[in-house]
Amino acid sequence: MAAYGLYTHIAANRSRSVLLLAGLFLLIYVLVFAAALVGEAIGDSGYPMQYYLAAATRDLIQALPFATLGAALWIAIAYFFHQNMIDALTGGRSVTRQQQPKLYNLLENLCISRGLPMPQLKVMESPALNAFATGLNRRQYAVTVTTGLLEALDDREIAAVLGHELTHIRNGDVQMMVIAVIIAGVIGFFAELVVRLFFNAGWRFGGGRSSSNNDKRSGGGALVAIILAVALIAAAWALSQLVRLALSRAREFLADAGSVELTKDPDAMIMALRKIESRGELVGATSAVMEMCVDNPRSGFADLFATHPSVQARIDALVSYAGGHDPGPLALPPEASAAEAPPTEAADRALPPAGPWREPAPPGPWGPR
């Protein structure tokens, strides 16, 4: 289903979620079939390829209930405990209105303005500038922000980031990403089991029943079965990784647009992106967590496997379609060794060291700061 705006994107994501879950079980069955091929070829290398295909098919039919139950159990565990796993990885902790009154009020006001359910609010101790949303249903939704983000951005910019994450929740992007992570985890786990089965068996090509007579009548059937099994495992693993990339990068453009729709402040979103740019790396976070963040600096090889569009592309879209104004890239904070160096134009435009809740600046050319 093609998506042309925020609302069609929501409907498209719901359809994709169902397809992804169906695809998960299909890939599991492919891996079970590959495991059966490996097992049959290891057990007896003296038959033609047709024999191994038929035997593996019988094994697959017998294993279907167990494979389905295993995949369903994995999904259930991820459904109920994925937030605990993410919090354990990132150190995120829930905060209340009393602990973070301004941050809590910013999120609550955005939710009230669109009638959205209030997600849990979490803060993680990290100097990185980033935020992400998680959850599979209204009871689980959570928005996590780093302490570095709170220290570097002002109220308007933090509200823009919160609006971005709320739009991911509203659009169903969060569910899509969690499902994609589940798929990758299940496929990776099953693929590793099959590989271990193959290597732990100590099977050697040319071994098995016996010798040249078997080779003549098998026509290398066992070897072909093994090659086919390896190809199926590799294809299933590659597809599980591509699923994460198949969640179109357009979701970030739409989340930026949704933030502007909530805050009516494109300049705040642009400035937030400029400050976050190249400063969002969460040390120790898995690639799955980074893919959920406002910005993922892990671009991959030549950007071919980047999960996010570039910050410049996102800002260009906000300038073109939302009427925002781009101040240009901000210089990274100077190193301590250069702290006493004369100020330069780059240093003048470096990330401000102000605290999390600065007093509003005087009105700028595009409205109050």
Residue numbers annotated as active site: 165
Half-sphere exposure in the Cβ direction for 76 (13 Å, CA): 6
Question: What value, to the nearest 5°, has the Cα angle with vertex 279 and ends 333 and 327?
Answer: 70
The maximal CA–CA distance of the chain, rounded, in angstroms, is 90
Q: What SS3 class is residue 325? A: coil
Q: Which residues pair with 123 in a beta bridge?
A: 93, 145
Contacts of 200 by beta carbon, 8 Å cutoff, 6+ apart: none
Distances (CA, A) of 295 to 31, 65, 281, 328, 333: 33, 41, 9, 17, 18
Place of tokens 């100097």: 127
Q: Are 82 and 136 in contact (CB under 8 A)?
A: yes
DSSP string, 139-162: TT-EEEEEHHHHHHS-HHHHHHHH
Contacts of 109 by beta carbon, 8 Å cutoff, 6+ apart: 159
Q: Is 365 exposed, middle or buried (0-12, 13-18, 19+ CB in 10 A)?
A: exposed
Neighbours of 214 (CB within 10 A): 17
Distances (CA, A) of 196 to 176, 189, 193, 237, 293: 30, 11, 5, 15, 34
Size (the chain), residues: 369
Q: Which of 97, 92, 82 is nearest to 145 (CA)?
A: 92
